Homo-oligomer: A and B are copies of this chain.
């Protein structure tokens, strides 16, 4: 399938491009960015561009929208312009997007393949309701993606209450979203909108598709999001109360969690690896950035506490989205 990457020069866009290099199913045909970049070679704009894409001439968004000519779009544009762009494209073409613009629409899934692959059925509702040939599939906010992979392993223990404090990496704010003066030798316990996203997206993702709608999971969740001086890799301290806590079984659940191993998706990696002390510099690249690392599991009153970390640009953004498209392809939605 011929694919385009929108926002290909940003941090998430570059990650899409790297992950799609040599992909067996998806061939990148178009790299799309702002007017400022249009007409330049990708290799001039992106120092470490993959060899394969160095000579691609970047297209402007306007130009691309006039005549997309691809079978699939990955979107890494900012949320502010994504709503219109995605709706325009989805009339004809499937869109897998990292932008939050449509995440909260009733008929749009927030997909994490290992967690809620059955939500892909919403595509049918969406296409019918909106009378589109294409559709929109979103991936969650970065820290939510990492958290929900770990929560999925706990689902069978009955999740009642979640308290999570995140320690998020610099690259989550993009190239220039965070000033060095602000974060150097510091922790900033505020990331605009982040806590709301974690609390709401996670309940949608872990929710149940019933009668063409997603019934949100009904656990009580509260998050405190902080930024820390780490380049990549979001770390999360999690306290969970469960219906049936059993710390040894939970450890096994983490270790054995591997729900899609039989689907043979090209990018799939074991989604969770258990390690006693997960650390972003050491573990963010596990499974090419798609594996989250869980550790420090201990019993607490009525549940467990643990630490989970993952690569915010891969598992938390581009990698999750590519996996979404692979799942849709494998399951016949493309």
Chain A residues within 8 Å of B, Cβ to Cβ: 11, 47-48, 163, 165, 167, 170-171, 173-190, 220, 222, 224, 226, 228-231, 235, 237-239, 275-282, 295-296, 300-301, 305, 307, 309
Contact = CB atoms under 8 A, between A and B. Distances in A.
Contacts of A183: 180
B230 A187 contact: yes
Contacts of A281: 184-186, 231
Contact of A229 (B230, B237, B277): B230
Contacts of A301: 220, 222
Contacts of A178: 179-181
Contacts of A238: 224
6 contacts: A171-B181, A180-B182, A180-B229, A185-B229, A186-B281, A187-B309
Nearest to A231: B184
A235 to B, nearest CB: 5
Which secondary structure characterizes the binding site on chain A? mixed
B282 A231 contact: no
A278 B182 CA distance: 12
Task: State the number of copies, please.
Answer: 4
A183 B181 CA distance: 10
Contacts of A171: 181
Contacts of A176: 179, 181-182
A240 to B, nearest CB: 10
Given A229-B230, A301-B222, A179 B187 contact: no
Contacts of A239: 163, 222, 224, 239
Given A229-B229, A301-B222, A180 B170 contact: yes
Q: Point out which of A182, A237, A239, A276 has the most chain B C-beta atoms below 10 A from its C-beta.
A: A237
Contacts of A187: 167, 228, 230, 235, 279-280, 309
A96 to B, nearest CB: 25
B167 A296 contact: no
Given A190-B277, A228-B228, 16 more contacts: A170-B181, A170-B184, A173-B180, A173-B181, A174-B181, A184-B281, A186-B230, A187-B230, A187-B309, A189-B235, A220-B301, A222-B239, A224-B307, A226-B307, A229-B229, A239-B239
Contact of A184 (B189, B190, B220, B229): B229
Contacts of A275: 47
Most chain B Cβ neighbours within 10 Å, of A179, A295, A307: A179
Contacts of A184: 170, 180, 185, 229, 231, 281
